[in-house]
Structure formats: structure tokens, C-alpha cells
Amino acid sequence: MQKENPKRPYKIILPGLILVLGILLGQLGWFDWRLLLHRGEQYAHLWWFVPAVIATKVVLYTFALPGSTLIWVAGLLFDPIAATLIIVAGGTGGALAAYGFCRRMSADARRRLEGSRLFQFLHRHSDWATLCAIRILPNFPHSVINYGSGLLALPLPRFLISTVVGFGVKGYLYAVMIRNAATADTFADMVDLKTLGPLFVLAALFLVGKAIRRRGHMAGKSDPSG
């Protein structure tokens, strides 16, 4: 007779603890990008520096740590196009790793939660447009999207494409703003409603497009001639 696999509660608790700890450390300013910038100014010309920055972003995002802080490093050391490629590569790699980690660790919990109304609601509203809108929003924790998508076991193509689009749009805008900042004193002036407005507008457009598409779909269903 085959024995049932023992329950492993740590698989349910561990991703949640990592997520909470990562967000907390980010809010406390645990990760000082200025220190990395100082090091980067010394080594940015070496071939291994860019892969190292990307790998660091992957590790940070995997464990829900504030990988977005490396946007400042990339934006100050490289031109906007190169910085955006670094941001997209590191962010997407880390997002996929976090997604896979949480999806695997939360498999047992997901089977128990799939019938709940909250799970069904979140799954129903985790379409491509919503993922893009949330990913683009300024200061929204990427770790919540990555781990949440893993918990919900969202289709990988949807998660991957929305991640690339989100990091690409946000990364380029941030890289341009950072590049245009002459001194550290201007950083506070960059991150305001005026400069981040395009991100809010784009996020809203994704959601409006989603609403229009859904409305058209419902109208098509209700049209007897269709």
C-alpha cells in the first residue's frame, strides 16, 4: 500500500515569509544602490559587469528583495537603451525564477484554495492587460506580481509577455529620467506626479482597453443576430 506524502507546511509558509520580508527590507531602505553605483563606476567598463548586474537583479527578484533599486545603477552608468535592456533582462529573469519558485512551493496550497471565491476572483482578473497595468504602476512591488502569479499558476506565456512589456516600458522611462538628472539633488524632483504621469496613464489605458474588450465581448454574446 502506497503511503501518502506527508504534509509540508513550510512549502506554504516560506514563500509568504520571503515576500513579506523582501517588501519590508525594501521599505526600510536595506538595499543601498549608491554603494553599488560607487563600485559600478570603477568596473562598468569591464566585460563581466553587465552580466553581474543582471544576475544580481535575478537573485534579488527571485527572493522578493528590492531589485528595482538597480535601475538607478543601470540608468546612471549606461545610455537609456542599454539600461533598458539590462533592466528587462534582469527583471524578467528574476520574475520567472520567482514565479517558478512560488508555483512549485505553493502547489499544495493552490489545490486547497482553487475553489475559494477569492482565488477565482484573482484568477479571473489576472489577464494580460491587468498584469501589464500593475507591472507598469510606479512603486508597485514586483515581488507581489511574481509570487501572486506563481500562486495562481497563471499561464507562463501571459506572465512572460506582460513582464517583458512592463519592465520595458517602465525601465525605459526610468532610464531616461535618471540619465537626464545631473546631480543626486535632482532625484527627488524626478519621482513626482509630473514625471511618472505617463506610467499612470499607460496603466489606465491597459485597464480601459480591457474594459472595452470585455464590453464588446459581452455585447457580442447578447446580440441574437450574432
**Does residue 3 sit within a domain?**
no
222 sits in the region (left: phi over 0; alpha: psi -120 to 50; else beta) called alpha
User: Is 154 part of any domain?
Assistant: yes
Global pTM value: 0.78
Give the domain extent around 74. 10-222
Q: Is residue 33 part of a domain?
A: yes
Let me know if residue 1 belongs to a domain: no
User: Each residue of 140-151: pLDDT tens digit?
Assistant: 888 889 999 998
Structural domain contains residue 4? no
Report the interhelical angle of 49-62 vs 142-152 (nearest 10°). Answer: 60
Tell me how far apart the alpha carbons of residues 130 and 128 are, in angstroms, rounded to a whole number.
6
Give domain status of residue 2, yes or no: no
Task: Please give the mean pLDDT across all residues of the chain.
Answer: 78
CA distance 224 to 219: 10
Residue 5 lies in a domain: no
**Burial class of residue 82 (count of CB atoms within 10 Å of its CB; 0-12, 13-18, 19+):** middle
Residue 30 has pLDDT above 90, yes or no: no
Dump pLDDT digits (tens) for 2-22: 444 445 555 667 776 777 776
Helix (H, G, I), strand (E, B) or coil at 11: helix
- For residue 193, the 8-state DSSP code is H
pLDDT over threshold 50, residue 60: yes
Q: Is residue 178 part of a domain?
A: yes
For residue 108, what pLDDT is reported? 80
- How far is residue 43's CA from residue 123's CA, in Å, rounded to a whole number? 44
Please tell me the distance from the alpha carbon of residue 116 to that of residue 136, in angstroms, as a whole number: 28
Number of structural domains, the chain? 1
